[in-house]
Amino acid sequence: MNFNLSEEHQMIQQAAKDFAEQELKAGVIERDEKAEFPYDAVKKMGELGFMGMMIPESYGGAGLDCLAYTLVLEEIAKIDASAAVIMSAHNSLVCYGLYEFGTENQKQQFLRPLASGQKLGAFALSEPEAGSDATSQHTHALDMGDHYLLNGTKNWITNGGNADFYLVIAQTDISKGHKGINAFIVEKGTAGFEIGPKENKLGIRSSDTHSLLFTDVKVPKENRIGADGFGFKCAMQTLDGGRIGIAAQALGIAAGAYDLALAYSKARKTFGKPISEHQAIQFKLADMEVEIEAARLLTRKAAWLKDSHQPYSKEAAMAKLFASEVAMKTTIEAIQVHGGYGYVKEYHVERLMRDAKITQIYEGTSEIQRLVIAREILRA
């Protein structure tokens, strides 16, 4: 097994690193404080091909693989986790769902502008009572013949305020259970579709998170994804790929915190020598490095399996579970290495800690990942 990145992958990784350093870093603290969406950066990510990475060029994408996608997400999340989650939700959930399951007309009308970065997408599954449980949807779509009437509320929707197209999961026939669930494409501005207030979050503050409200929203029949009742399968397969994206984000947050802690430990002196020469600090740095590398290997294996068209549900959940826990642990330790300086915004690590927490929650909590993993190993 070759663990070395190809020349192409190294170039993609370097391009993402340069973009993060040159375009994202300068204003990241201010955007976090103001909860300001990075409009210019998202536009530039589209120009670089980062908003349709795994979509073929024939549909406006970059035509790259999942491994390349994780490399880019990691580099961006090192600097700005908010930009990373904007990109991840757009790529992993919306573009992927449309490409894998959409009709040719849906791909031409919706996927092409999304993959090229001209439009932004959002995935609407979570609800106030059901969370991310796709089998307990209260949002309902009534079949009216040539269209559906959509009613209900979604919450915690990434890109909720700035998206142009939304993939919405809704119940159409509760008597059929998960076979009565569908996925729909809803366009911003459709009558009856309202965007709720922006959430004031602990972390990833410059990504916009909103509730969505649907009141008799008319959705054309041709905007349904797949056959009637396909929505549950669409959501589950989409979330599998989404977990790889979250793992890459968590990995990037952890690696970014580690880089800062390492650099600070070499510059900060106590008792006449850099603190990196103290054994207590060396142990922290060593543990960080080991766990980050393990998370990186899990993430890249899941991406490799996806690229190889092999089952990857268990591996994606493992990567997401482990990388998110490493992100939380590493950012806390990075603050400890910085001492009092780690507690102030100027040194970035306190923001990375706040950003890390959400990786243990979205795309399913750590407990849900353990259930996914257990289900797969007991099925074997």
B/e letters for 53-87, b = 16+ CB within 10 Å, e = fewer, are bbbeeebbbbbbbbbbbbbbbbbbbbbbbbbbbbb
- How many other C-beta atoms are found inside a 10 Å radius of the C-beta of residue 268? 15
Contact between 291 and 255 under an 8 Å Cβ cutoff? The reply is no
DSSP, res 131: B
Q: Which H or E run includes 55?
A: none
Active site residue 363: yes
- How many other C-beta atoms are found inside a 10 Å radius of the C-beta of residue 132? 18
Cβ-defined contacts of 6-12 (< 8 Å, 24+): 8/68, 9/67, 9/68, 9/71, 12/64, 12/68, 12/71, 12/72
DSSP 161-196: TT-SEEEEEEES-GGGGGGGEEEEEEETT-TTEEEE
Contact between 204 and 249 under an 8 Å Cβ cutoff? The reply is no
| Catalytic site residue from 23, 363, 367, 376 | 363
Hey, which residues are catalytic here? Answer: 363
